[in-house]
Amino acid sequence: MKIEQLYTGCLAQGAYYIESEGEVAIIDPLREVQQYIDKAEANNSKIKYILETHFHADFVSGHVDLAKETGATIVFGPGATTDYAIHSATDGEELKVGNITIKVLHTPGHTLESACYLLIDENGKDYALFSGDTLFLGDVGRPDLAIKSDLTKEDLAGMLFDSLRNKIMTLADDVIVYPAHGAGSACGKNLSKETVGVLGEQKRTNYALRADMTKAEFVEEVLDGIAPPPQYFAKNAMMNKMGYDTFETVLKTGNIPLKPEEFEALANHESALVLDVRTQADFIKSHIPNSIFIGLNGGFAPWVGALIKDIKQPIVLVVPEGKSKEAITRLSRVGYDNTLGYLEGGLEAWKEAGKDIETLESISAEEFAAKAKANKLNILDVRKDGEYLSSHLEGVQHLSLDFINEKMNEVDKDKTYYVHCAGGYRSVIAESILKARGYDKLIDVEGGFGAIKNTDLPVTDFVCPTTL
């Protein structure tokens, strides 16, 4: 028996490769599926099942493409309906993969069709639980994504309570837990940075698994402090339910080098968004007017999903040399499939063609501190609500990047703003969005709050985010 976790940091997502006696099951695959095919072929094995823990909202799964390529059966939990062929499993159904058995545990709550997969080894021992978004390390899945007219988030939270108590907490303490996500995912509130654990530890330490917890307490605590889901979640869930263009098609139509004149024409006449995915330092030094920065070196895909409202938005890319395929791949993971090409030769080719460029003003934290002590500044903190509440500069204006499109009118175009996040990535995203909308008095604070804390500017006392 072989179990391999294939973890993708940008999405904080774990896919799983399970193999026994030449047969393979893949759990929650990414959009680009060739990696799983290659792995199985290298081991002279055949992919038999593609197991989906639920209709994912935070990424587009590769189940449809993988089934087409391999003939494997797509398995969902009870009640799942799709526009393509699947096996909708029954609760307690057992699937054979070589010498091992995978038992389907229907665990509604995160979504109605949510299922966990219990791996039973060749000796009949419960060995590992692939818990999807039902149980994370340190948290449980948010129960507000599958709300219907006759079903509230409180109803789903109650279902999740029952699923955890009746299906998961009854398992032995030594069962290994392989969740679908870790820290950084918006599918829960306080996920652990660890990506593998054991059930006994979760029973002891996970707030949602307290033995003396009532259902009413569970519902209240699980729903408390959940931020609204990113706008792309519902769109990704629908793609996972209905199907999508093949990844190879998306790559073929998107990975096209464009001369500066072609690039400019698409931006001007086809209303294509210019998305700059280089580093924030490169963007600060020079960028195409009205381009939006979301760098590949940060939480690229989730920020694209949160900030670019139209999932079908035509996009043209400014990329580091050799990174066009990676950018298109990562866009496709969250359903942004309408890339039209990338700027061949990058900013150097753009400059050589005599095209306009712009810069962002940036100062060090030390320079910022000196200015702030000499004069009253307008300071914009674009970190998340929890980060801001934990500790912030006194007298700062807070506008979380997550909601910048909705709350942009809270920023005064006539004022100069010094903008910071935690480390410098998100502030440049925010500044690029504001700048493209006509806000031209923006100064980036290099290093963000992490650097500001090392100056002598007064900040509020730190409060642990888990207590908020």
Average pLDDT over residues 427-438: 98
- Asked if pLDDT for residue 186 goes beyond 90, the answer is no
Average pLDDT over residues 191-215: 95
State both tokens at 212.
């003396």
Res 269: pLDDT: 87
* Lowest-confidence pick of 66-70, 78-82, 147-151, 281-285: 147-151
Handedness of CA 441, 443, 449, 454 (dihedral sign): negative
Cα Dmax for the chain: 73
**pTM attached to this predicted model:** 0.93
Res 466: pLDDT: 63
Res 467: pLDDT: 62
Q: Note the pLDDT tens digit of each residue in 150-177.
A: 889 999 999 999 999 999 999 999 999 9
Which residues 6+ apart lie within 8 Å of 342 measured at CB? 255, 256, 257, 258, 316, 317, 318, 319, 324, 327
Average pLDDT over residues 20-44: 97
Contact status, residue 283 vs residue 428, Cβ threshold 8 Å: yes
State both tokens at 154.
């409180």
Cα separation, 222 vs 14, in Å, equals 22
Q: Note the pLDDT tens digit of each residue in 363-393.
A: 999 999 999 999 999 999 999 998 999 999 9
Query: Which 3 state secondary structure label does DSSP give 136?
Result: coil
Note the helical H segments in 43-99.
63-70
Res 468: pLDDT: 61
Q: What is the percent of the chain where pLDDT is above 90? A: 93
Of 169, 162, 161, 164, residue with least CA distance to 203: 169
